[in-house]
Amino acid sequence: MTSRLALLAAAAAVCAISAPARADDLRGELAGEMPGLMELYRDLHAHPELSLQEVKTSARLAGLMRELGFAVTERVGKTGVVAVLRNGEGPVVLLRTDMDALPVNEQTGLPFASKERALSDAGVESGVMHACGHDTHMTAWIATARLLAERKGEWQGTLVMIAQPAEELGLGALAMLEDGLYERFPRPDYAIAFHNSADLPAGTIGYAPGYAMANVDSVDITVPGVGGHGAYPHKTKDPIVLASSIVLRLQTLASRESDPVDPVVVTVGSFHAGTKHNVIPDEAKLQLTVRSYSEETRKSLLDGIARIARGEAIAAGMPDDRMPVVKPAELYTPAVYNTPDFTEEVMDDLRQRFGSERVVKSPPSMGGEDFSRYRRADPDHVRSLLLWVGGVPQVDWDAAQKGGKTLPSLHSPFWAPDAEKVIATAAEALTATTLRLLPRR
């Protein structure tokens, strides 16, 4: 009898150990799957598609998700994919990948470099490249789906995995939400995504609690004038001089009107006026990108731009009916906000898994990401996290730290991340986090 009890106790101990051990054996399983995942990555990299043109890409991802047993819906938000795996009662976790590439002529020299060409919505033909690393995002997303589908006995709840179009235009998340993402499919308790980083060594995880990426506004300013001969400027109202004054004064929005610890950016990226040396034009046009974090700061900047444009025009003697026209774009990209307590909880867990040297707090970015919309669509319910996974090859990182190399940025035609480390790190992090959020009851 004693011997039998001892055997049963030993068997129970083995079972108690084996379940979490299997849940933690993600790294080994991923290592075994990396050859196939890298083949998928290289194919996605070689065949990129522009925003809202991701027809073949979305079909490929949808097919792979169906093979894993997900209920898949295509053409959500035009080219988006929603894959749902229900596994009993429990929370809902949404994992997002983006799919679109950029109109960039690739110059990485990779053997699987993109040779694709396409027409943008503006009718401009160019090369097409995954210069923002969305190919690594999609591959890690598929890897995560495989790991979680194989581990259905270890978690309980609902997994909603979305492949989003048009992140580069800031349109895709909104398109999917307006197409009923939160009405037609389970509404998430948690929304999680990652982005590869050109500012961290490969395999390092970066994060920022709270504001992580900025509001992005585009603003057009049309500056009227009274044209005439360049030899007789006193008979004109020169819009180039007026527009130049506006450009200079706009800089005070950041340097003199904003709290120095509340970062803002007001960049005039385009200034067009005139056709000939000796002709003063009757109009100038400015195009601005405006970055902020809070809604209050955003409003202050946009109001300040309108005030400065009008004020400079008054100073230049322009009549009331010839004031500059300031037109912010109707659609903007809201700031990414990582739910602070949730973010810290996840990162504490990932530090235990990867070690503190591979999980680091990163400064917020002034770049934009429309992942922000998934939380903003239901801010009282959805807890969200966008993390970074470094992609800079270690040899390049080391050389750059010694001052011997300049690293390419995201969107560069030379951006070639260490894809294997990005994919393996991201898939392990996303899978481990999802397993923690969907515990078996």
Domain of residue 26, CATH code: 3.40.630.10
Q: Is residue 7 part of a domain?
A: no
244 lies in the same domain as 340: no
Q: Token digits for 154?
A: 């270890």
**Residue 55 CB-density burial (10 A; 0-12 exposed, 13-18 middle, 19+ buried):** middle
CA–CA separation, 433 and 198 (whole Å) = 23
309 lies in the same domain as 352: no
Q: Is residue 221 part of a domain?
A: yes
Which pTM was predicted? 0.90
Q: Token digits for 337?
A: 């906000």
236 lies in the same domain as 258: yes
* pLDDT computed for residue 24 by the predictor: 65
CA–CA separation, 421 and 322 (whole Å) = 57
* pLDDT computed for residue 404 by the predictor: 80
Domain boundary residue, one of 328, 346, 380: 328
3-state helix, strand, coil in the chain (%, to 5): 40, 25, 30
Domain boundary residue, one of 303, 328, 353: 328
Give the CA radius of gyration of the chain.
26
CA–CA separation, 197 and 212 (whole Å) = 13
β-pair type (80-87, 71-76)? antiparallel
Q: Token digits for 184?
A: 């037609």
321 lies in the same domain as 340: no
Determine the distance from the C-alpha atom of residue 334 to the mean position of all C-alpha atoms in its chain, rounded to a whole number: 11
156 lies in the same domain as 31: yes
Query: Could you give the dihedral angle defined by the CA atoms of residues 70, 144, 382 and 187, in that order, rounded to the nearest 10 degrees?
Result: 0
170 lies in the same domain as 252: no
Q: Is residue 40 part of a domain?
A: yes
Return the SS3 of 339.
Answer: coil
CA–CA separation, 283 and 272 (whole Å) = 9
- Cα dihedral across residues 47, 51, 54, 58: positive or negative: positive
Residue 146 sits at the vertex; the CA angle it makes with 142 and 151, to the nearest 5 degrees, is: 150
Q: Is residue 99 part of a domain?
A: yes
Own/partner pairs, 346-351, CB within 8 angstroms, 24+ separation: 346/385, 346/387, 346/433, 346/436, 347/205, 347/207, 349/432, 349/433, 349/436, 350/205, 350/429, 350/432, 350/433
Q: Is residue 12 part of a domain?
A: no
Range of 345's domain?
A: 20-213+335-437
Domain boundary residue, one of 276, 303, 328: 328
Kind and range of the H or E run holding 248: helix 239-255
274 lies in the same domain as 190: no
Q: Is residue 276 part of a domain?
A: yes
Q: 352 near 24, Cβ under 8 Å?
A: no
46 lies in the same domain as 186: yes
140 lies in the same domain as 154: yes
Mean pLDDT by 10 residues, the chain (441 residues): 38 37 75 97 98 98 98 98 98 98 97 96 91 98 98 97 97 98 98 98 98 98 97 97 98 96 97 97 98 97 98 96 96 97 98 96 96 97 98 96 92 98 98 96 83
* pLDDT computed for residue 63 by the predictor: 98
CA–CA separation, 214 and 335 (whole Å) = 4
209 lies in the same domain as 220: no
- For the residues of 258-309, what is the DSSP string, one character each? S-TTS--EEEEEEEEE-SSTTEE-SEEEEEEEEEESSHHHHHHHHHHHHHHH
Q: Is residue 237 part of a domain?
A: yes
Nearest alpha-carbon partner for 137 in 192, 65, 194 = 194
- b/e sequence 143-162, b meaning 16+ C-beta within 10 Å: bbbbbbbebeebbebbbbbb
How many independent structural domains does the chain possess? Answer: 2
274 lies in the same domain as 344: no
Q: Is residue 399 part of a domain?
A: yes
260 lies in the same domain as 320: yes
Q: Token digits for 194?
A: 């990652």
| Domain of residue 322, CATH code | 3.30.70.360
